[in-house]
Amino acid sequence: MIRIRITEYLDIELERERWCCNRCGADLGSAREPWKKGALIRERDPREIHLPIGPSKEFNFSFDPDWMRIVEFYCPKCAVMIDNEYLPPGHPLTWDIQLDVDALKAKHGVTSAPKRRARRPR
């Protein structure tokens, strides 16, 4: 099994073409799709993370939740935080890592397993 490190917490298993957690090996879905589909997702109020600083409620160095949201992505098995995003409300999740799986397989000498033919009913 060849696993390639993509980020600090994210690997790809080339033979199976699957995203997996680097810490526990949990399967996060097809490497030809966004890995975020297989993660646990938590949306946070930015004021929980960036606490207001200073006496003014209007100008306090904190993010306005009407203008942005923080989205965290966790491994569904070991709960390590894999990534996070700062997005405007209503914006779809980004597909930030899109790999050329076929080129990676060729580079590392991984061949695709032949597909089995479906059996015909008798």
Give, as one character, the DSSP assignment of residue 112: P
Spatial CA neighbour of 40 closest among 88, 83, 8: 83
Question: What pLDDT sits at residue 54?
Answer: 80
Question: What pLDDT sits at residue 1?
Answer: 82
Spatial CA neighbour of 3 closest among 75, 108, 115: 108
CA 98 – CA 36 distance, rounded (Å): 11
The owner of tokens 């397993």 is 113
pTM for this prediction: 0.83
- Domains of the chain by residue range: 3-92+100-107
Mean pLDDT by 10 residues, the chain (122 residues): 94 96 97 97 92 81 88 98 95 94 92 61 65
3-state helix, strand, coil in the chain (%, to 5): 10, 25, 60
